[in-house]
Amino acid sequence: MCYPTPSERFFQQAIPNGCAAKTLPPSQRMQIGLQALAGSQPISELAKESNVSRKFVYQQKATAQTALDEAFLADKGDDEVLFLLPVTKARIRQIVLGLILICHSSFRGVTEFLRDLFDYDISLGTVHNIVSDAVQKARRHNLGQNLANINIPALDEIFQAGDPVLVGVDVRSSFCFLLSQEEHRDTDTWGVRLLELKERGLTPAATIADFGAAIHAGQELAWPDVPCRGDIFHVLYEVTPVVTFLENRAYEAIAAHHKLEQKKAKTKRQGKRTQALGCRAAAACRVVGPAITLADDVAMLARWLHHDVFAVSGLTYADRCDLYDFIVSELQARVELCPHRLKPICTLLTKHRDEVLAFAAQLDRDLISLAKEFQVPEFLVRQLLDVQALHEKNPQRCQKEAELRKKLDYKFHAVNEAVHDLATQVVRASSVVENLNSRLRSYFFLRRHLGSDYLVLLQFFLNHHRFLRSKHAERVGKSPAELLTGVKHPHWLEMLGFTLFSKN
């Protein structure tokens, strides 16, 4: 009988059941399999180094090969389980709110979605209750938001089924601080709502709105010391179609004259009389010249209004007013040539000059203050603003910037940054509230009657839903509430008391 040597007995005691392979961790087994697949050394040497059998090495090699095949060759198809989602009542509530607010779904659409995709029956009443429960929590967040950081808000009205909805948005952050359905949109209604906002800390330096009389009168009651600027968007919205109309009319006159001339030439070739056609062609020719002249003149005046009077540039407020008045007088001189189009815009421009140029008056004061702060000539600050308005690829920009560097010397960089910051803060239009109105329309079309509760929830969602994309990089991944306060908040579903799902 052969007895084990002392070293063999020690080996058997150190390794359970005398098998070294059982003690190898997964990482070492993987290394053995990879080395066997690589073929850099014989299987027997691998087995000897690891103190395992060759059979074990072949097993690890086969396991590694199978894993590689599954990773690179196997087509698992659409039936592969990506992750498992625990469906609880809380998850159903999140899905309901997500479908309504993110996907713009109707209540009946929610019930159909859950029935067809989750095999889960839910009644319209249950959907309503889920929304109502979220409304109470959303209202607390809406009313608890301090509005002191809002500097310039935009005010507007939108209608749903004949009922006005009052809208207020912070221009800088897109935060919606007012979304209220009312029976009327008169002065008293606007005044009361603005007074309520004042109690919540809203003390703006100025507001911006269209030319609705009720908005201006209501603000005068609630905030008598706060100026209301006119919106250049609505001015250009009225002027641009007139330019298009006159250009189209000129093209039509040209086409009509050309058609008559062709018809006259054809008739002459046929040996027929062309006296009548000649008179008609001559009459059409007399229309073409004035039509082209009027279209060109009005288009040029509109360009001056848009790119000079309304531009963020170094043009002084007094010069803007003079150019504005000149443009209006030139348009009035041509009213008789197209009264039904030119008279309304002349009335608009004459009546609201001070309102639409209020931004320029503020810009003028800011540029003067900036020049005093840095103790530099005012005209250099204005020139620097004009240079910044040029396109970066414009060859004149580099040349003019170099001249200003020489004149401003060591102050150039500081003044340049200050002017740039000032230009980005100029508010000329209420485009942000028009953008919000377009987003609201995609929700309003689902229901004829809105109700205050629905607007409360919608306002909360729009303020705390983070932007997925934006032309301004600093806004991407942030919500209007975060942009307003500078403080990060949880996901809007977490703010309503839910726990977000995570695959990890």
Torsion of CA 327, 330, 332, 338, to 10 degrees: -110
For tokens 């950081």, the residue is 149
- Do residues 107 and 218 both lie within one domain? yes
Structure confidence at residue 17 (pLDDT): 53
Residue 437 sits in the same domain as residue 408: no
Task: Report yes or no on 219 lying in a domain.
Answer: yes
Residue whose pair of structure tokens reads 């479908």 in the numeric block: 99
Residues 112 and 213 in one domain: yes
99/198 same-domain check: yes
Residue 264 lies in a domain: yes
Whether residue 363 is found in the same domain as residue 349: no
pTM equals 0.75
Q: Does 291 fall in a domain?
A: yes
98 and 207 housed in the same domain: yes
Asked if residue 352 and residue 267 are part of one domain, the reply reads yes
Count the helix, strand and coil residues of the chain and give each as a percent rounded to the nearest 5.
65, 5, 30
Residue 15 in any domain: the answer is yes
* End position of a domain, from candidates 356, 378, 400: 356
Candidates 40, 43, 63; CA nearest to 54 is 43
The residue type found at 13 is Q
Q: Which of 285, 277, 232, 238 is nearest to 257 (CA)?
A: 285
Classify residue 49 by its DSSP letter: H
Tokens in use for 203? 């003390």
- What is the CB neighbour count within 10 angstroms for residue 119? 7
User: Has residue 435 been placed in a domain?
Assistant: yes
Is residue 80 a part of any domain in this protein? no
Kind of pairing, strands 163-170 and 176-181? antiparallel
In this prediction, residue 368 carries a pLDDT of: 94
pLDDT tens string for the chain (504 positions)? 444 454 444 444 444 455 677 778 888 888 888 888 888 788 888 888 888 888 888 888 888 888 877 777 666 666 777 778 888 999 999 999 999 999 989 899 999 999 999 999 999 999 999 999 999 999 999 998 889 999 999 999 988 878 899 999 999 999 999 999 888 889 999 999 999 999 989 999 999 998 888 999 999 999 999 999 998 988 999 999 999 999 999 999 999 989 988 888 888 888 888 788 888 888 888 889 999 999 999 999 999 999 999 999 999 999 999 999 999 999 999 999 999 999 999 999 999 999 999 999 999 999 999 999 999 999 999 999 999 988 888 888 888 989 999 999 899 999 999 999 999 889 998 888 888 888 888 888 777 666 788 899 999 999 999 998 888 888 889 999 999 999 999 999 999 999 988 876
Is 77 within the bounds of a domain? no
Task: Flag whether 146 is in a domain.
Answer: yes
Contact yes or no for 155/433 (Cβ under 8 A): yes
Last residue of a domain, one of 386, 404, 424: 424
Print the domain residue range for 25: 6-72
What's the rounded Cα separation, in Å, for the pair 493 and 134?
9
Task: Give residues with Cβ within 8 angstroms of 310, minimum separation 6.
Answer: 232, 235, 236, 356, 428
**pLDDT at site 395:** 85
Per-residue pLDDT at 19: 67
Tell me how far CA of residue 221 lies from CA of 182, 210, 217, 446, in angstroms.
18, 17, 6, 35
CA–chain centroid gap for 253, Å, is: 42
When divided into structural domains, the chain yields a total of 4
